[in-house]
Amino acid sequence: MVSKILLVILLLILVASSDNEIIFNGFTGANLSLNGLAQITSGGLLMLTNNTKEGQGHAFHPALLHFKNSSNGFSASTGSATACHYILGWSFSLNGTAQPLDLSKLPSLPYQENSKKISHLLAIALPLVAVVLLLLSIAVIFFVRRKRENYEELIEDWELEFGPHRFLYKDLFKATKGFREENLLGFGGFGHVYKGVLPTSATEVAVKKISHESRQGMREFVAEIVSMGQLRHRNLVQLLGYCRREGELLLVYEYMPNGSLDKFLFHGEQPALTWSQRFQIIKDVCSGLHYLHEGWEQVVIHRDIKASNVLLDREFNGKLGDFGLARLYSRGTNPQTTHIVGTLGYLAPEISKTGKATTSSDVYAFGAFLLEVACGRRPIESHPSVEVPGLVDWVLGCWKMGTILETRDPKLGSDYVVKEMELVLKLGLLCSHPDPMARPSMRQVVQSLEGDAPLPAMSTDALFTSTSTQRYDECFDDFLMSGPSISDSTNITYPPPFVSGGR
Encode pLDDT of 201-219 as tens digits: 889 999 988 765 545 456 6
The architecture in CATH of the region 258-503 reads Orthogonal Bundle (1.10)
Q: What is the pLDDT of residue 14?
A: 34
Residues 6 or more apart from 450 whose CB is under 8 A from it?
283
Q: What is the pLDDT of residue 151?
A: 57
Instruction: Write the pLDDT tens digit of every residue in 283-303.
Output: 999 999 999 999 988 888 888
Instruction: Write the pLDDT tens digit of every residue in 311-354.
Output: 999 999 999 987 766 555 554 444 334 456 678 889 998 888 88
Q: What is the pLDDT of residue 5?
A: 40
Q: What is the pLDDT of residue 297?
A: 83
Q: Which CATH number fits domain 152-255: 1.25.40.390, 2.160.10.10, 3.30.200.20, 3.40.640.10?
A: 3.30.200.20
**Residue 29 Cα distances to 9, 40, 43, 101, angstroms:** 17, 9, 11, 17
Quick one: CA torsion of 202, 208, 211, 216, rounded to 10 degrees? -80
Q: Quote the CA–CA distance of 362 and 256 in Å, as a whole number.
A: 23
Q: What is the pLDDT of residue 77?
A: 55
Q: Ranked by mean pLDDT, which of 70-74, 125-129, 193-197 comes out on top? A: 193-197
- If you average pLDDT over residues 429-436, what whole number do you get? 91
Q: Quote the CA–CA distance of 180 and 375 in Å, as a whole number.
A: 36
Q: Quote the CA–CA distance of 250 and 239 in Å, as a whole number.
A: 11
**Residue 45 Cα distances to 24, 54, 84, 91, 105, angstroms:** 11, 21, 12, 15, 12
Residues 6 or more apart from 13 whose CB is under 8 A from it?
22, 61, 63, 64, 65, 92
Instruction: Write the pLDDT tens digit of every residue in 260-273.
Output: 999 999 887 678 89
With beta carbons less than 8 A apart as the criterion, state whether 248 and 210 touch: yes
> For the chain, what is the radius of gyration of the CA atoms?
47
Q: What is the pLDDT of residue 12?
A: 36
Of 129-143, 375-389, 457-471, which gets the smallest average pLDDT?
Answer: 457-471
Q: Quote the CA–CA distance of 225 and 65 in Å, as a whole number.
A: 109
Q: Quote the CA–CA distance of 436 and 456 in Å, as a whole number.
A: 15
- If you average pLDDT over residues 363-374, what whole number do you get? 96
Instruction: Write the pLDDT tens digit of every residue in 164-187.
Output: 678 888 899 999 998 888 999 887
With beta carbons less than 8 A apart as the criterion, state whether 371 and 391 touch: yes
Q: Quote the CA–CA distance of 135 and 115 in Å, as a whole number.
A: 29
Instruction: Write the pLDDT tens digit of every residue in 122-170.
Output: 777 778 888 888 888 888 877 766 665 565 666 666 566 665 678 888 8
Order of strands, sheet of 33-36, starting from the edge strand that comes earlier in the sequence: 33-36, 57-60, 6-10, 74-77
- If you average pLDDT over residues 5-30, what whole number do you get? 57
Q: Where are the domains of the chain?
A: 6-107, 152-255, 258-503
With beta carbons less than 8 A apart as the criterion, state whether 275 and 417 touch: yes
Instruction: Write the pLDDT tens digit of every residue in 442-461.
Output: 999 999 999 998 887 776 66
With beta carbons less than 8 A apart as the criterion, state whether 171 and 263 touch: no
Q: What is the pLDDT of residue 487?
A: 28
Say whether pTM exceeds 0.85. no
Q: What is the pLDDT of residue 373?
A: 96
Residue 499 scores a pLDDT above 50: no
Of 21-25, 191-195, 211-215, 275-279, which gets the smallest average pLDDT?
Answer: 211-215
With beta carbons less than 8 A apart as the criterion, state whether 394 and 429 touch: no
Q: What is the pLDDT of residue 148?
A: 57
Q: Quote the CA–CA distance of 367 and 444 in Å, as a whole number.
A: 13
Quick one: CA torsion of 80, 85, 90, 92, rounded to 10 degrees? 0
- If you average pLDDT over residues 434-441, what whole number do you get? 91
The residue from 304, 322, 362, 409 that is catalytic is: 304
- If you average pLDDT over residues 106-113, what whole number do you get? 71
Instruction: Write the pLDDT tens digit of every residue in 22-49.
Output: 888 888 888 888 878 888 888 888 888 8
Q: What is the pLDDT of residue 230?
A: 81
What percent of the chain stands above pLDDT 70? Answer: 69
To 5 degrees, how large is the angle CA 135–CA 140–CA 145? 125
Q: What is the pLDDT of residue 92?
A: 79
With beta carbons less than 8 A apart as the criterion, state whether 108 and 43 touch: yes
- If you average pLDDT over residues 238-251, what whole number do you get? 81
Higher pLDDT, 25 or 257: 257
H-helix segments, 70-196:
110-151, 169-175
Q: One-letter amino acid identity for 162?
A: F
Q: Quote the CA–CA distance of 327 and 341 in Å, as a whole number.
A: 8
**Total length of the chain:** 503
Q: What is the pLDDT of residue 480?
A: 37
**Nearest CA to 426 among 391, 464, 455?**
455
With beta carbons less than 8 A apart as the criterion, state whether 232 and 295 touch: no
Q: Is residue 19 among the annotated active site residues?
A: no
- Break the chain down into helix, strand, coil percent, rounded to 5: 40, 15, 45
Higher pLDDT, 374 or 251: 374
**Nearest CA to 30 among 90, 86, 78?**
90
Mean pLDDT value across the chain: 76
Higher pLDDT, 56 or 136: 136
